């Protein structure tokens, strides 16, 4: 039996005999509806470390105080009666996408995914280097649940393994190959106000260390927006103490995943998803990584390197530090 599993079963026996079973990571993972088909496993062949006791797995974002989704009265979707229309200008979900100049008589395809064939559901290559958000169809739309523009909504499609690395704590890999452009999973956590996230940074011994778990939902932040929620500083997601398996993904300066802002109902842009997609083909068992500081201004020159965490990603273009 793997070491972490053995440790778990010892703890679990105690828990069954009266202690908190709710705090058990394996029980939390078994409660995922996809547990049988796309399991999340935990493997440690190196030592007896188990996952942090103060961490718990959650299946969806948890809203902190002061964070609310739009009321149902404000929700609206597209009225496409044929799913294949959910890629053209006439689909209301595409309403905010800039329309490229037409090259021929065909309507330009606007949505982020290939719609049919072998690549259906994969991000189009034009999206892989783009910072554009993903506008998906969703529950309020007329199109069906099988609409090809509902990739993130349908959820994770690969099993995940959390494993103990030699030198960077826990990491994440997939026991199956992943294709370039394929959706992997969302980064989950507590959605909190910026005041709360500032307090959590202050409470942390090194603010930048806390930053490694905090993601601003700022894709649509706009001081000129008519939507008050987008005019203010955005909410942030804290995945340190509650999250999904993606919370254990390590950083690489040459990553194989990238985070995209994904929005379903446009009334909920202030709580958009953080969706991780493969930016290249990933072999079975290769460690999954993303760039923690992609898109963040380089402020390294002002940094005191004493507190900075060394990067051990091992890539040829390694920047040397995690922040």
Q: What would the 3-class secondary structure string for the chain be?
A: CCHHHHHHHHHHHHHHCCCCHHHCHHHHHHCCCCCCCCCEEEECCCCCCCCCCCCEECCCCEECCCCCCCCHHHCCCCCCCCHHHCCCCCCHHHCCCCCCCCCCCCCCCCCCECCCHHHCCCECHHHHCCCCCEECCCCCCCCCCCCCCCHHHHCCCCCEEEEECCCCCEEEECCCCECCCCEEEECCCEEECHHHHHHHHHHCCCHHHHHCCEEECCCCCCCCCCCHHHHCCCCEEECCCEECHHHHCEECCCCCEEEEEEECCHHHHHHCEEEEEECCCECCCCECEECCCCCCCCCHHHCCCCCCCECCCCCCCCCCECC
Query: CB of residue 310 vs ligand SAM: minimum separation in angstroms?
Result: 6
Nearest CB to ligand SAM, comparing residues 143 and 322: 322
- Active-site residue, selected from the candidate residues 113, 135, 213, 292: 292
Query: CB of residue 255 vs ligand SAM: minimum separation in angstroms?
Result: 10
Binding residues for ligand SAM, rule: CB under 6 A, are 168-171, 209, 212-213, 248, 250-252, 309, 311-313, 322
Query: CB of residue 147 vs ligand SAM: minimum separation in angstroms?
Result: 33
**187: annotated active-site residue:** yes
Nearest CB to ligand SAM, comparing residues 232 and 287: 287
Instruction: Select the residue whose beta carbon is closest to ligand SAM and give its number.
Output: 169
Query: CB of residue 318 vs ligand SAM: minimum separation in angstroms?
Result: 8
Burial of 203 (0-12, 13-18, 19+ CB in 10 A): exposed
Nearest CB to ligand SAM, comparing residues 61 and 123: 61
Nearest CB to ligand SAM, comparing residues 76 and 165: 165
Query: CB of residue 8 vs ligand SAM: minimum separation in angstroms?
Result: 16
Nearest CB to ligand SAM, comparing residues 130 and 307: 307
**135: annotated active-site residue:** no
Q: What residues are annotated to the active site?
A: 187, 292
């Amino acid at each position: 039996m793997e070491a972490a599993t053995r440790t778990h079963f010892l703890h679990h026996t105690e828990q069954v005999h009266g202690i908190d079973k709710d705090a058990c990571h394996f029980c939390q993972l078994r409660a995922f509806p996809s547990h049988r088909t796309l399991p999340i496993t935990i493997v440690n062949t190196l030592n007896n470390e188990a996952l942090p006791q103060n961490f718990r797995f959650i299946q969806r974002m948890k809203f902190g105080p002061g964070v609310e989704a739009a009321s149902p009265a404000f929700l609206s979707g597209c009225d496409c009666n044929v799913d294949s229309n959910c890629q053209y200008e006439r689909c209301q979900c595409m309403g905010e996408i800039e329309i490229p100049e037409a090259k021929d008589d065909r309507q330009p395809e606007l949505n982020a995914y290939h719609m049919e064939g072998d690549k259906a559901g994969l991000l189009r290559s034009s999206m892989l280097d783009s910072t554009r958000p993903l506008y998906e169809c969703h529950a309020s739309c007329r199109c069906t649940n099988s609409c090809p523009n509902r990739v993130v909504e349908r959820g994770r499609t690969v099993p995940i393994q959390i494993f103990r690395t030699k030198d960077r704590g826990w990491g994440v890999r997939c026991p199956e190959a992943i294709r370039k452009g394929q959706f992997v999973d969302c980064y989950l956590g507590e959605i909190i106000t910026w005041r709360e996230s500032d307090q959590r940074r202050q409470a942390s011994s090194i603010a930048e260390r806390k930053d490694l778990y905090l993601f601003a939902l700022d894709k649509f932040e706009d001081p000129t927006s008519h939507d008050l929620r987008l005019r203010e500083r955005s909410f942030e997601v804290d995945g340190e103490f509650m999250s999904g398996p993606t919370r254990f993904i390590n950083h690489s300066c040459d990553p194989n995943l990238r985070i995209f802002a994904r929005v379903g109902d446009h009334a909920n842009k202030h709580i958009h998803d953080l969706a991780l997609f493969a930016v290249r083909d990933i072999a079975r068992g290769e460690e999954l990584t993303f760039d923690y500081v992609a898109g963040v201004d380089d402020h390294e020159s002002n940094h005191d390197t004493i507190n900075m965490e060394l990067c051990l990603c091992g890539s040829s273009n390694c920047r040397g530090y995690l922040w």
